[in-house]
Chains A and B, each alone.
Chain A
Amino acid sequence: MAVPSSFPEEVLEHIFSHLTSPSHLNAASLVCKSWYAADRYSRRSAFVGNCYSLSPRALVSRFPNLRSVEIKGKPHFADFNLVPEGWGGHFFPWVRSMSTAYPWLQEIRLKRMVVTDDALELLGRSFVHFRVLVLAFCEGFSTDGLAAIAANCRNLRELDLRESEVEDLSGHWIGHFPDSFTSLVSLDISCLSTEVNFPALERLVSRCPDLKSLRLNRAVPLERLVSLLRRAPQLVDFGAGAYSAELHPDVYSNLAGAFSGCRELRSLSGFSDVIPAYIPAVYSICFGLTTLNLCYVTVQSPELTNLINQCPNLQRLWVLDYIEDSGLEAVASTCKDLQELRVFPSDPYNAEPNVFLTEQGLVSVSLGCTKLQSVLYFCRRFSNAALVTIARNRPNLTRFRLCIIEPRSRDYLTLEPLDTGFGAIVENCKDLRRLSLSGLLTDKVFEYIGTYGKKLEMLSVAFAGESDAGLHHILSGCDSLRKLEIRDCPFGDKALLANAAKLETMRSLWMSSCLVSLGACKFLGRKMPRLNVEVIDENAHPSLRPDDCLVEKLYIYRSLAGPRFDMPGFVWTVDEDDSGMRSSSIHVSS
């Protein structure tokens, strides 16, 4: 009796097309050759967490039928000016390879990459069915590139430029969407600094019936919001621009009326330069809000509290520290569904606190909001007791980022380091995936993290630790660690070299202002061919420095592509031929 040895390929591919998780597909692809092949041809989306971990050509040849690609470029610390300009993360090589390989490509999502107008023009020309473009935290392009997208992508649904730096040459790019273009679902232009052509924007909003998400930039004045909201009452997510104008009763009532017409609104953001008197205009839709982003709203706690008291269904709240402890108490009692809280500093560089926001605010929320999973909190003092309380209240935390503004701050009650507090967090929150530390911390906290942080995927460390033991605890204990970023810690060669193999299991490691020597970098680079060990040195050629000199900035990541060839002059990698360091062999000018 003949037993078919395997399913026909098409059946396998069909089955695989229902597996959406990349890790499941990766696992399936390892079972046997025919499953590998089936996965190859059926894979429709790819996530490249580090654009230098493989070459565009390698992606394209392994997965010939992708419809959606997501790529990330610069290290996270680039957000805080730790990565010099020109470091890399260029999108053009990717779009060049994909333009010929993926004529059916529909979606591109980029984060922290350098995107040029040329790349955008090529994109617009190459992908007939293109639907989704997300450029988050990107730079390098201008409104000319946006005009090319608008003009060429006839089926575009999503254009999202969140947090990108765009050279704003003119607001007329928005008029390049043809009159026949009606497919827009989501538009985020909040990062643009100058006005877009308002009549063109109005017409665009009018003719796109499926528009669900519209985030405007600061240059759209308040009076104009009314006309946009009236044209798009189906909006689910709205980002106002500047929310200030002369106080005028007509403007207010028009605005209130326009908002009340948007029954589907679930998310609000923007509202920069807000005048408190206009805030109640949104009250009519607050009941349905699940997301509220007030991190540009510079009003004081009472007004913020009044607003939040209107929003019992909030799941995500981003707010400035003007909310103060009292406002967070209101959050704790009103927002019972809250899952994510971010509190940003209004005046981060002033040593003196300008608002009454302390650890108590977060403690209140941790007690009152039982679904709280994700926290980002800037404040000026904390205590171990508060951290322990938070940990015990909320063992379901998955992301915990605490930034006590003054580096190496002690527990303000006991004057001890904050080791025990953070230790309680990692011990109690067994599903913790992301953690950022601050305050005075010894090696002890890292012992806790290594012991308990088994699900930890991303860890950010600054001004902490006492010795290499700290780094060693992290690298040897955190089984799930993917991204580690460290600055200003006394971690050096021993721990790094002792855990060299661990680095191949991670996406990347960033270390700046630590105690790693040039010699250790060279050694590591030579011993571990599947790691790219890159030293950033803006002042001199590393070959002019002795091996025992400390490197200022170090970025190590695993890669199948070998050393990159687009490094700017200040990025150095190990030269395989001699034991020195080299820059790129090819000079890439912008």
Chain B
Amino acid sequence: MEGIARIGDQAIGPKLLNLMPNCREEVSGQEEEKKLELRLGLAPPGERGRRHHHNLNLRGDGSDLDRGLLLSSARSLRSNVQHKSTTHFDLNLKDVKGEHNTTTTTTFQKRTAPGPVVGWPPVRSFRKNITANSINNCLKRPSSSHDAVEANNKSLVDGEAIDGGNHNYQMIERPNGSMFVKINMEGVAIGRKVDLGAYDTYDKLSSAVDVLFRDLLAVQRDGGEEAITTTEGVDGRGEYTIVYEDNEGDRMLLGDVPWHMFVSTVKRLRVLKTSELSSHGIGGRQER
């Protein structure tokens, strides 16, 4: 009984334990399972004879006893953990660690090529866009060149020297990161956000939008609505057309300006029925 967590009558012990590695990993061998099974209980190995209030007894009778057990098992876990480094918890998880999926942090290597991570660094989207635009503005101002060179000529302790001067003038047209803008589709209640930083041409954006809303439309279709054929068309040939709102509030057709100019002025995207484009007043400020 001890060492096995239960939901109702169903033993879930081994299943829970399988989670420590990625769910796709197999736990090979009965022996491995047994090792892990023992470990669910918070008592150190060899002390199975202890009262099972030290174990994670998750029996499902819904009483306060459960909560008490959860609390007391937590206390015993804490006291275990406060032992020196060979705590029970650590030890077992280290055994299991070898099978960890590489996405978990067992590697102590600094990533050499940082890819964009969603939501990291934790700065708000509007701020990203603003500093992007401002960096472009900043780079064009010659008055600050002297000081920029000064600053960049200092090198960092770990040997990373910044290029003198040149670095600050590298035309970073876009930051190497995400730029989320909202996108709404006519007839779909819930909007989405799309990361313009992930694309560098209108075609790629167009097909990504297509995929995005195809899924949503499919879900709606399952609800009994009639099938909608969609081809996103930048050129307006398809049934739907993508338009965007720029920083002056105007609605514009996608594709008129160069990509980088689009990216620096776009505020949000919309997918409209091509047949109703004219009634949306594309290209000029809407009077309301």
User: When chains A and B are docked, how far (Å) is the Cα of A272 from the Cα of B190?
Assistant: 33
Q: B134–A272 contact, CB under 8 A?
A: yes
Selected from B40, B131, B191, B192, the residue in CB contact (under 8 A) with A347 is B131
- A324 near B162: Cβ-Cβ < 8 Å: no
Q: What residues of A have a CB within 8 angstroms of the CB of B15 in the complex?
A: 519, 547-548
Residue B12 is within 8 A (CB to CB) of chain A in the complex: yes
Residues A557-582 near B (CB distance < 8 A): 568-569, 579
Measured CB to CB, the closest approach of chain A to B154, in angstroms, equals 6
The residue from B73, B108, B131, B160 contacting A440, defined by CB atoms under 8 A apart:
B108
- CB pair B131 A405 closer than 8 Å: no
CA distance A299 to B144 in the complex (A): 8
Chain B residues, CB < 8 A from A277: 143
Q: Which of A479-526 contact B (CB under 8 A)?
A: 487-490, 492-494, 497-502, 515, 517, 519-520, 523, 526
Contacts of A84 in B (CB 8 A): 192-193
A81:B125 contact, CB within 8 angstroms: yes
A472 CA / B180 CA spacing, docked (Å): 34
A349, B70: Cβ atoms under 8 Å? no
Q: How far is the CA of A477 from the CA of B134 in the complex (A)?
A: 44
A298 touching B134, Cβ below 8 Å: yes
Tell yes or no: B20 within 8 A of A by CB: yes
Q: Which of B99-107, B201-209, B228-236, B254-262 contacts A (4 or more CB under 8 A)?
A: B99-107
| B192, closest chain A residue (CB) | A85
Task: Mark interface residues in A390-429 (1 if CB within 8 Å of B CB, else 0).
Answer: 0000000000000101111110110000000000000000
Q: Which of A126-134, A208-216, A350-358 contacts B (4 or more CB under 8 A)?
A: A350-358
Q: Are A407 and B117 closer than 8 Å at their CB atoms? A: yes
Q: Which of B19, B162, B247 is close to A550, meaning CB atoms less than 8 Å apart?
A: B19
Residue tally, chain B, CB below 8 Å to A: 93
Whether A86 sits at the interface, judged by CB under 8 Å, is yes
Assembly CA distance A548 to B62 (angstroms): 23
Given A462-B120, A527-B60, A499 and B74 touching (CB < 8 A)?
yes
Enumerate A106-157 residues with CB–CB distance to B below 8 Å. 144
Contact B105 A344 (CB under 8 A): no
Answer whether residue A77 sits at the interface, using C-beta atoms and an 8 A cutoff. yes
- Determine which residue in B73, B151, B156, B180 has the highest number of CB atoms from chain A within 10 A of its CB, and name it: B151
Q: Contact: A407 with B120, CB < 8 Å?
A: yes
Q: How far is the CA of A276 from the CA of B143 in the complex (A)?
A: 9
1/0 contact string of A292-335 vs chain B (CB within 8 Å)? 00011011111100000000000000001000100000000000
Interface residue from A348, A447, A469, A487 paired with B175 (Cβ < 8 Å)? A348
Does A590 make an interface contact (CB < 8 A)? Answer: yes
Partner of A350, one of B58, B124, B172: B172
A370 within 8 A of B: no
Is residue B167 contacting chain A, with contact meaning CB distance below 8 A? yes
A356-B154 contact in complex given A469-B89, A498-B70, A499-B74, C-beta closer than 8 Å: yes
Q: What residue in chain B is nearest A298 (Cβ atoms)? A: B134
User: Contacts A407-B117, A409-B110, A494-B56: A356 and B151 contacting too (C-beta < 8 A)?
Assistant: yes
Of B56, B122, B249, which is within 8 A of A403 by CB? B122
| Contact assessment for B120 and A295 in the assembled complex, using a CB-CB cutoff below 8 Å | no
Inside 8 A of B62's CB, which chain A residues have their CB? 527
- Complex Cα gap A76–B18 (Å): 31
In contact, A168 and B81 (Cβ under 8 angstroms) = no
| Bound-complex Cα distance A407 to B119 (A) | 12
Instruction: Say whether A295 contacts B127, CB under 8 Å.
Output: yes
List of B residues within 8 angstroms of A568 by Cβ: 190
Instruction: Give the most central of B40, B134, B193: most A CB within 10 Å.
Output: B134
Contacts of A476 in B (CB 8 A): 74-75, 77-78
Asked if A465 lies at the interface with its beta carbon under 8 angstroms from chain B, I say yes
Instruction: State the CA gap A568–B23 with chains docked (Å).
Output: 27
A300 and B147 contacting across the interface, CB-CB below 8 Å: yes
**Could you tell me if A85 and B16 are in contact, using CB atoms closer than 8 angstroms?**
no
Cβ-based interface call for B225 (8 A): no
Chain A residue nearest to B158 in the complex (CB): A412
Residues of A within 8 A of B154 (CB): 356
Inter-chain contact A86/B19, CB cutoff 8 Å? no
Nearest-Cβ distance from residue B67 to partner chain A, whole angstroms: 5
Give the distance to chain A from B107, nearest Cβ to Cβ, in Å: 8
Interface string of B194-218 (1 = CB under 8 A from A): 0000000000000000000000000
At the interface, yes or no: A34 with Cβ under 8 Å from chain B? no
* With known contacts A85-B193, A412-B157, A527-B60, A347–B135 Cβ distance under 8 A: yes
Given contacts A406-B114, A498-B42, could you give 16 more A-B pairs where the C-beta distance is less than 8 Å? A79-B122, A82-B118, A169-B288, A275-B141, A296-B134, A345-B121, A349-B116, A349-B128, A351-B176, A409-B110, A464-B105, A472-B74, A490-B100, A527-B66, A547-B15, A548-B18
A-B interface, 8 closest residue pairs, ranked by CB to CB distance from nearest: A349-B177, A80-B119, A349-B175, A298-B134, A589-B189, A86-B190, A467-B93, A490-B104
A-B contact pairs, 12 of them (CB 8 A): A84-B192, A85-B192, A86-B191, A295-B127, A298-B131, A298-B135, A350-B176, A408-B111, A447-B81, A472-B89, A473-B81, A487-B119
A residues lining the B interface (CB < 8 Å): 77, 79-82, 84-86, 144, 163, 165, 168-170, 191, 193-194, 272-273, 275-277, 295-296, 298-303, 320, 324, 344-356, 358, 378, 381, 403, 405-410, 412-413, 436, 440, 443, 447, 460, 462-469, 472-473, 475-477, 487-490, 492-494, 497-502, 515, 517, 519-520, 523, 526-527, 546-550, 568-569, 579, 589-590
